Chains A and B, each alone.
Chain A
Amino acid sequence: DAGITQSPRHKVTETGTPVTLRCHQTENHRYMYWYRQDPGHGLRLIHYSYGVKDTDKGEVSDGYSVSRSKTEDFLLTLESATSSQTSVYFCAIGSAGSSGANVLTFGAGSRLTVL
């Protein structure tokens, strides 16, 4: 997707292991977001960033941490993965639409399975 890459795209891990998902953008946008989506459900905001080293919690931040040491990368870490964190994780970047308000562009998603 236009200027946004998520890695890994698929990962299987075991309960209790740490996992880091990476979101990389080439658009130099200030705003970046991590969402999770469970089967048959909508997207839930985990964390977001409004600049380098500036991050804040979303709706479901427990068990997740993030870091943004440079504009282009936004990392999502599960310190100790649990089965309830099995999900598809989407990263998004925010940019101004033609109206001037924020428009999100999403990555392809990272499918995480915690056994």
Chain B
Amino acid sequence: LAKTTQPISMDSYEGQEVNITCSHNNIATNDYITWYQQFPSQGPRFIIQGYKTKVTNEVASLFIPADRKSSTLSLPRVSLSDTAVYYCLVGDGYSSASKIIFGSGTRLSIRP
């Protein structure tokens, strides 16, 4: 599985756009990029998944450049409730669904 690197922590303010970048230099052709959000005392929650270019849903956008060696999770106009840990995972579909390994994640703190 491709190893991922993301910042340990980030700070921002309410109403700002937050971009969290994840590096995955060894991403394989069949790999997808998936982001999860985790609040204290809860299990991680799926945010968004993509393979290339841009994916957008009601919560976030995911930008993936052509070489796919990195990806950026974009949270528009964050609020205090977006304070959480965000995990970037890389892996292909069910052929490697076996070992789904989480990294340390990015601890995002939003201030008033």
Contact = CB atoms under 8 A, between A and B. Distances in A.
Contacts of A43: 44, 102
Given A92-B43, A97-B49, A58 B99 contact: yes
A94 B99 CA distance: 11
Secondary structure call for the B interface: loop
A102 B93 contact: yes
Contacts of B101: 45, 58-59
A33 interface: yes
Interface of B: 32, 34, 36, 41-46, 49-51, 55, 85, 87, 91-94, 97-105
B49 A101 contact: yes
Contacts of A88: 41
Nearest to B107: A40
A102 B97 contact: yes
